[in-house]
Structure 1
């Protein structure tokens, strides 16, 4: 069965899109949500369902790019956030809520120290600064195709707007290429502060890293005195303490975000005590890092409840549903990657795939990402399967 492609010209006539294009470049302010000729506009969400400005209801497999682990408007998270708002949404003083949330994260992960911020990008930038301060070195190693946020040193050197001097401080290597990694350390090892890796890089196709490579990576880094950092902004959802707990690695630092904010802006860095002590303001020449809305009580309260709800039973159950869905899709001939509750549909034309899914009532990521939530029912999972199989048969998507 095939499905016609959407009527693109009709969508380009959206009054909201025309208004947006008058005041924002390309009509958007977040590059990841763009699909040509323009994205629809969200109006509301409840559970696993999102409603757009035209009244269409969709099963939300985007979940704000993996951040809504419990879907939309979960009653307990909503109650916690509203309670925090009523007593004050932000202060120029720390609050009890950030202590309690850091304690929960420490308990879940085993990392002794935590620092909060407002996004995954900021978390990775903070992580890099901590590594440089601790080691006294300048260079970082990261891997081609992985996305670590929008900071200059986190983007590829050929990205428009990124200065050429970035290449002097960043070594970008092919992930999984052991000789390239060994050569980079042989040449620059005395000045490498940290190796930054995503064990399930979304932008690189959601292909899991090979455990043997990760074990060797840590061994090489340790030999040269460099730190190992794992970017868990997306992958933290896959295990109770983060995906790295399934690998032969003991990172010095991790960054996370997304689900731990309960639907509010968040980022966090966890790590070994001696590394994160660089931020201790009582030290001589501490690392400075502010942030007006860092650890605001609304995010802390909502995130605390979201993480408590996402206990071992919830993690195991959601991963099992994702693994079954991925297997069923592969059995139906759909090319997919991923792990647990994260699925990436591989397509030669992701805009066509995105619109085909949208027309069939499923909201995916603009790159073909499906992110499951605990709010989804068995019937909705079946509907997702049917829509993906149908969309993947659209000629333009093949």
Structure 2
């Protein structure tokens, strides 16, 4: 049992504990865990506890955490104000079939901060938030189809998954990207209902949206897709998407489940996008399950069932549960404009230091990202879209080697995904990340294609 492991003295712990737990997991889970996103090299690392910016695993090892549960924990682990608030709440009850004031308080905070959000609905996950945002667009427009960015991850709703995992052999031509299904057996009508746009291809976006305008309910838009390389959008591209959508009465849905952490007002506001709907999650739950759909009153009216049956009925047993609402409110209240500015300053310094080390050694790497997010690419030039960010087998091996090097130095760096900072990190932690990267470069030969 895990409590038996945690009771062991540190001297008794060994590298075998995670392996032993994984062996147990394989007897009850199809592949040993319950999340496909769990990294295993060769087995998953099982966590005992979190301590601010750090994790401690069951083998007694302590790591600086640059994953933060896939960017969710903006305050790191064990954020005291959230723990205190949730502890007080637990005795009063964790879920009810009736509303509580807690959901109103979190909603008021988000409506006050995010310019595009006038009203909001809470769900339990980012997947649900995107799914209901798409359904809301369909209910509002009466059209079934969506357009989305190639390679962008939007959770596990069939239509949102299409085109997120294409490869050079499946993704089709640059002029007509294919809505590659996410899994075998996906109904043909899913791919038929999804138009794929290449990120930062303004002309292609205008052409493809216009060609399918009569059947498109919305454009699903991630302002900075993590799987697409964590690349900022060109202003001309965002303008092309929004203007063309407006021209044909197509809604713009911004998925900020991950990227809401880019600023006090979110990512859409940062990049000058005015969406009709926003899907949110991750940081707004304070470390507990959450999702939200927000937008203008005229679109959010599809959820209104006060005068009869709503155009779109939405509910969930744990939606707006008080634990997530209280944790989210306390966590977000602590994310003041000053807190966001400090995180961004640390991110800017880290990206600049890493870029400087790359330039000094003329290494075959680049770094992307914004605010508290970053991603290192084994490329000579910064990618502009998913196809350019896609890793070959050799490049994937390089990133795996980098993650292993970081892990040996006490840092958990996601492999092939967005890394992120938390408010629990210090300037010394930033220096440590940069130092480990510089020492990683020192262990590798000068990259081909560059000269000293």
**Could you state the TM-score of these two structures normalised by the residue count of structure 2?**
0.83
Aligned residue number for residue 437 of structure 2:
388
Equivalences for residues 93-132 of structure 1 within 5 A: 93-110=98-115, 111-132=117-138
Equivalent position to 1:341, from 363, 368, 372: 372
Aligned residue number for residue 248 of structure 1:
272
> Which digits, 9 at most, give the CA deviation of each residue in 1:177-222, with x for residues without a partner?
2232222233211221111111111011101111121012111110
Equivalent position to 1:312, from 337, 346, 350: 337
Aligned residue number for residue 300 of structure 2:
276
Offset at residue 364 of structure 1 (A)? 2.0
Aligned residue number for residue 150 of structure 1:
156
Structure 1 residues 291 and 361: alpha-carbon distance in aligned structure 2, compared to 1, 3 A threshold: same
> Which digits, 9 at most, give the CA deviation of each residue in 1:109-149, with x for residues without a partner?
13210011111111000100111101111110001111011
Does 2:54 correspond to 1:30? Answer: no
Distance 1:152 1:368 in 2: 22
Does 2:241 correspond to 1:202? Answer: no
Distance 1:22 1:208 in 2: 43
Does 2:409 correspond to 1:360? Answer: yes
Aligned residue number for residue 292 of structure 1:
317
Aligned residue number for residue 135 of structure 1:
141
- Kept in 1, the 8 Å contact 2:147–2:209? The answer is no
Distance 2:134 2:209 in 1: 18
Structure 1 residues 316 and 51: alpha-carbon distance in aligned structure 2, compared to 1, 3 A threshold: same
Equivalent position to 2:326, from 301, 304, 307: 301
Aligned residue number for residue 264 of structure 1:
288
Distance 1:301 1:93 in 2: 16
Does 2:425 correspond to 1:376? Answer: yes
Offset at residue 63 of structure 1 (A)? 0.7
Structure 1 residues 100 and 316: alpha-carbon distance in aligned structure 2, compared to 1, 3 A threshold: same
Offset at residue 48 of structure 1 (A)? 0.6
Offset at residue 90 of structure 1 (A)? 0.4
Distance 1:317 1:44 in 2: 26
Structure 1 residues 22 and 389: alpha-carbon distance in aligned structure 2, compared to 1, 3 A threshold: farther
Structure 2 gap ranges (5+): 1-14, 163-179, 359-364, 379-394, 448-452
Aligned length: 389
Aligned residue number for residue 3 of structure 1:
none
Structure 1 residues 26 and 390: alpha-carbon distance in aligned structure 2, compared to 1, 3 A threshold: farther
Equivalences for residues 168-207 of structure 1 within 5 A: 168-207=192-231
Offset at residue 11 of structure 1 (A)? 7.0
SS of residue paired to 1:343: strand
Aligned residue number for residue 49 of structure 1:
54
Q: CA RMSD in A?
A: 1.9
Aligned residue number for residue 75 of structure 1:
80
Offset at residue 173 of structure 1 (A)? 1.8
Distance 1:392 1:284 in 2: 64
Aligned residue number for residue 4 of structure 1:
none
> Which digits, 9 at most, give the CA deviation of each residue in 1:294-314, with x for residues without a partner?
111011001001000001000
Aligned residue number for residue 356 of structure 2:
331
Structure number with the bigger relative contact order (C-alpha 8 A, sep ≥ 6) is 1
> Which digits, 9 at most, give the CA deviation of each residue in 1:219-264, with x for residues without a partner?
1110000011111111111111111112232110111111111010
Structure 1 gap ranges (5+): 1-9
Structure 1 residues 390 and 368: alpha-carbon distance in aligned structure 2, compared to 1, 3 A threshold: farther
